[in-house]
Amino acid sequence: MGGDRAPEEIVKGAALASLQRDDVEIILCGDTAAIGKVLSDTRHDAERLQIHHASQAIRMDDRAPEALAARPDASITVAVRLVAQGEADALVTAGNTGAAVLLAERLWKPLAGVQHPALAAVYPTEIRRGAKDDPFALILDVGAGADATPEELVVFGLMGAAWAARISRNPRPRVALLSSGAEIGRGPRDVAAAHDLFLSHTGLNFIGAIEAIDIQRGIADVVVCSGYVGNLFMKMLDAIPETILGLARYASKEKLLWRAVLGLIQSGVTRIKQLTDWQEYGGAPLLGYDHVCVKAHRRSGARAIANAIKVCAVAAPPGLLRDMHGKIAEFRTKRSQLAS
């Protein structure tokens, strides 16, 4: 059980989900005594919760390979193993991302046709999408790997589109490649090749290449990029609110007028925050394995965890992975036919 606010908020999130949904059973992996203490103070449905003790934990700042080797009974290891053994259908973690990705690679099987998994992230956009009016676009890969071949980029797109269709109830999600502009010739060679493959080998609603600034505008529902690019992009985005807050603090110290203006727009900022609150989404998936994994934000509170569990409840039934597998197989077949 990981994350900055574990175990309290994670247990409370599971408790909340146990009361909200009667179609899920939740296994909490972690220190039994600590979990029991939080549960005793929290409304929950004990019939839908079970505990699996893990005596160790991986910290957020641990280097995953070394930490996993040193702590074989870490809660994330126990949880990933339970999923691999079929004791659970999906994994939710707010803990160390590297550890989750590494363990999935070691203990789960890749979906047929997937060479490298993709870690997705969600980003709030101006335009909403799907039957759920989802304000979040899906971006992948944001760091499960570094480079990606053109074929892998297409597979990311196929997996992301299947996820968006199911989770956002958006049957024809718009898929785009992240590049340096709409003019594909200006981008890297792999991106250009992937662009051609998307057009010629998939039936996706592919809208071409977009620039980073277009992500926030929401013109694409699924944005595909290599792990290296995605990781840089997400880290930069993460830093923006902090930068703005820092500037606002500085400005408010400088002038009374600026302070007043900041006060005036406070309610608007709060509303925007509510509309785009990542806690509503719960987390983003690690795609490419024969099991579902939702990686919740490290700062996740109870609501985010409960929502991540809800996402899993929708994603875990075999339909989604079957869809992904079918689309990838179709792409691979077409690719080999055209190549020969």
Partner 1 sequence: MTASGAGPAHTFRWDLDKTYLRTDFDSLRGLVRAALEKPHEKRAVPGAPALIRALREAGGGAHRIAIISGSPEQMRAVLEAKLQLDGVVFDEFVLKPNLKNLLRARFRAVRAQVPYKLPALLRSRAAVSAPGETLFGDDAESDALIYCLYADILADRVSRGQLLDVLRAAEAYDDEIERVLALRDDVGKGEAVRRVIIHLDKRSPTARFDRFGPRLCPVYNYFQAALVLYADGQLKARDLLTVAREMLASRDYTVASLANSLQDLLLRGRLAREVAVRLGGETASAGAEFSDLPPHAEVVAAFTKRVQALGDFRVAAVPAGPDALDYAALVKSEGMR
Q: Which of 8, 20, 21, 53: binder of partner 1 (CB under 8 A)?
A: 53
**In the complex with partner 1, which residue's Cβ is closer, 39 or 159?**
39
User: Is residue 312 a contact partner of residue 89, using CB atoms and an 8 Å limit?
Assistant: yes
Q: Which of 4, 23, 43, 172: binder of partner 1 (CB under 8 A)?
A: 43
Helix axes 266-275, 256-264, angle to 10 degrees: 40
Assess 85 for contact with partner 1 (CB under 8 A). Answer: no
Beta strands 292-296 and 283-287 are antiparallel
Assess 40 for contact with partner 1 (CB under 8 A). Answer: yes
Q: Which of 1, 2, 10, 47: binder of partner 1 (CB under 8 A)?
A: 47
Assess 33 for contact with partner 1 (CB under 8 A). Answer: yes
Exposed/middle/buried for residue 102 (C-beta within 10 Å: 0-12, 13-18, 19+): buried
Whole-angstrom distance, CA of residue 84 vs CA of residue 48? 20
Q: Say how many residues touch partner 1, by CB under 8 A.
A: 21
**Token code pair at residue 28:** 């909490």
Assess 25 for contact with partner 1 (CB under 8 A). Answer: yes
Q: How far is the CB of 8 from partner 1 (least distance, A)?
A: 14
Q: Which of 20, 21, 42, 234: binder of partner 1 (CB under 8 A)?
A: 42
Task: List Cα–Cα distances, 55 to 58, 60, 71, 78, in angstroms.
Answer: 11, 17, 9, 10
Stretch that binds partner 1, among 39-47, 88-96, 201-209, 321-329 (CB under 8 A): 39-47
Q: Which of 45, 89, 190, 280: binder of partner 1 (CB under 8 A)?
A: 45
Residue type, 137: A
**In the complex with partner 1, which residue's Cβ is closer, 48 or 334?**
48
Q: Which residues of 172-209 are buried (b: 16+ CB within 10 A; e: fewer)?
A: ebbbbbbbeeeebeebeebbbbbbebbeebbebbbbbb
Residues lying near partner 1 in the complex (CB under 8 A): 19, 25, 32-33, 36, 39-53, 55
